[in-house]
Structure 1
Amino acid sequence: MAEHIMEDLSIDCVIFGFTDELKVLLVKHGEGISKGKWALPGGWITYEESLDAAANRILYLLTGVNNLFLEQLKAFGSVDRFPTKRVVTVGYYTLIKDTDYDVVAGYTASDVQWFSLNEVPELPYDHDEILTYALDQLKSRVKQEPIGFNLLPEKFTLLQLQNLYESILQIKLDKPNFRRKILGMKLIVDLGEKQNNVSHRAAKLYKFDQEVYQALKEHKFVLDL
């Protein structure tokens, strides 16, 4: 770890995970003024590294999660956001399939866990604000980019796709209306196959059409759900 730490500039990461529901990755502080509290993975940057490098280093040290594409949110700089001194933090976020990663607490974290969004404990500092802002950004992006399709199996059902959108948008969608809009955009292709080995009525399987998405993206489409 680099020696020269900037103790007035920090990084906080919002790592959303999805398998069957939307979750967020939190660490329990093992030391310092917030010892014992669950918080977003974060820490100080150093003079020798870029913001992006700092975000990846801090996330890896605290959680064991590495090699993620982290998108910068914005700077959070309320005067009283940190109790002992003036600290500005730069937020980052991403969305991953949580079952693809093994999380291991390290550095100053005594524990690390995935939390459902409706079970997030009280967070220190302004981490609730950062989490809310990141979720709003995610909701906006999912209507303009197929950022969640990589979280689904290569072949998926419309119900699985609807569950993904409902989890991210935090709303209940009308099933016929959702299917009509998704199919109308031609973003997915009917594979002419159905689920195997299911106890209920087998549903049709679809795949994501990357070429159609690229064409829609040029016209800055918005999925109105």
Structure 2
Amino acid sequence: MPPYDPSAFPPFAVTVDLVVLTVRSHALCTLVVRRGEAPFRECWALPGGFVRAEEDLGAAAARELAEETGLRAHDPSAPPPVPDNGAHLEQLATYGAPDRDPRMRVVSVAHLALAPDLPAPRPGGDADSARWAPVEELLGQARAAGADSPHALAFDHARILSDGVERARSKIEYSSLATAFCPPEFTVGELRRVYEAVWGVSLDPRNFHRKVTGTPGFLVPTGGTTTRQGGRPAQLFRAGGATLLNPPMLRPEV
């Protein structure tokens, strides 16, 4: 067998792109940055960047998340540390269409990040501005412009965003992932508004309260109350130890 010759294969780069989701003003929002350099200069895009030679994919995603949002998230390939900020990071999918980046062959390993209501973002890298944008606004622009149009989001980021949103919508049905959008202590009403924002539906408050408090291991009462929602004091909860919900929280049909 002849020796391996790296020059016999065309070079290509690997990037990580981030679908960072949070709930702001009762709407599901994602972080987008306006590109300051070609290609797609002045277009909005998902945050991300090239993987460094010494980096694992998970470490690159965690680094980009910290640079773009200030959030710390552990490398998904390493043993999880004690969480310190509620941020959740997981690998979403790989995107490798030959023409997805006009510079060269670039394969992107997209990651999904979920966190409670986050402050105004700061641009970094080749971005000249950044903002939280309602998901429905961005996806609506992408649908109006066409599936492969760069006018709503650069590269193939509209597809990546759509896949990330659907992942989040599906996972909160059968897992406790919705609590990643909440502060360490939250009310049932605040959790309900997360489900409503992510799913884009209205839920009956009484039925929702009965389901989430009756699901073993989902929520744990803290013994405290809050009036931050106005009105009568509301009971505070924290996330329980359950990772899978039984029975699941099924998404209403719309």
TM > 0.5 fold call: yes
Q: Which residue of 1 aligns with 2:153?
A: 123
Q: Which residue of 2 aligns with 1:11?
A: 16
Once the two structures are superposed, residues 178-203 of structure 1 have per-residue CA deviations (whole angstroms, 9 ceiling, x without a partner) of 23322332533567776547764x26
In 2: Cα distance, 1:55 partner to 1:193 partner: 36
Which amino acid in structure 2 is aligned with residue 179 of structure 1?
Answer: H
Q: Which residue of 2 aligns with 1:82?
A: 101
Q: Which residue of 2 aligns with 1:175?
A: 205
Asked if the contact 1:17–1:98 (Cα under 8 Å) also holds between the matched residues in 2, the reply is: yes
Asked if the contact 1:162–1:178 (Cα under 8 Å) also holds between the matched residues in 2, the reply is: yes
Q: Which residue of 1 aligns with 2:129?
A: 111
In 2: Cα distance, 1:102 partner to 1:158 partner: 26
5+ residue gaps, structure 1? 1-5
Q: Which residue of 2 aligns with 1:95?
A: 114
In 2: Cα distance, 1:53 partner to 1:190 partner: 35
Q: Which residue of 1 aligns with 2:60?
A: 54
Asked if the contact 1:28–1:38 (Cα under 8 Å) also holds between the matched residues in 2, the reply is: yes
Q: Which residue of 1 aligns with 2:195?
A: 165
The correspondence for 1:28, drawn from 34, 40, 61, is: 34
In 2: Cα distance, 1:119 partner to 1:18 partner: 14
Aligned length: 213
In 2: Cα distance, 1:45 partner to 1:198 partner: 43
Q: Which residue of 1 aligns with 2:166?
A: 136
Q: Which residue of 2 aligns with 1:207?
A: 237
Matched, 1:222 2:248: yes
In 2: Cα distance, 1:157 partner to 1:46 partner: 41
Asked if the contact 1:73–1:92 (Cα under 8 Å) also holds between the matched residues in 2, the reply is: yes
Q: Secondary structure of the equivalent of 1:98?
A: coil
5+ residue gaps, structure 2? 1-10, 75-88, 142-151
Q: Secondary structure of the equivalent of 1:10?
A: strand
In 1: Cα distance, 2:247 partner to 2:134 partner: 30
Asked if the contact 1:12–1:90 (Cα under 8 Å) also holds between the matched residues in 2, the reply is: yes
Identity %: 28
CA RMSD, aligned part only? 2.8
Tell me the CA shift for residue 54 of structure 1: 1.9
Which amino acid in structure 2 is aligned with residue 115 of structure 1?
Answer: A
Once the two structures are superposed, residues 2-26 of structure 1 have per-residue CA deviations (whole angstroms, 9 ceiling, x without a partner) of xxxx753221111112244321011
Question: Residues 97 and 194 from structure 1, CA distance in 2 versus in 1: closer, same or farther, beyond 3 angstroms?
Answer: closer
Which amino acid in structure 2 is aligned with residue 44 of structure 1?
Answer: F
Asked if the contact 1:7–1:44 (Cα under 8 Å) also holds between the matched residues in 2, the reply is: no
Asked if the contact 1:93–1:134 (Cα under 8 Å) also holds between the matched residues in 2, the reply is: yes
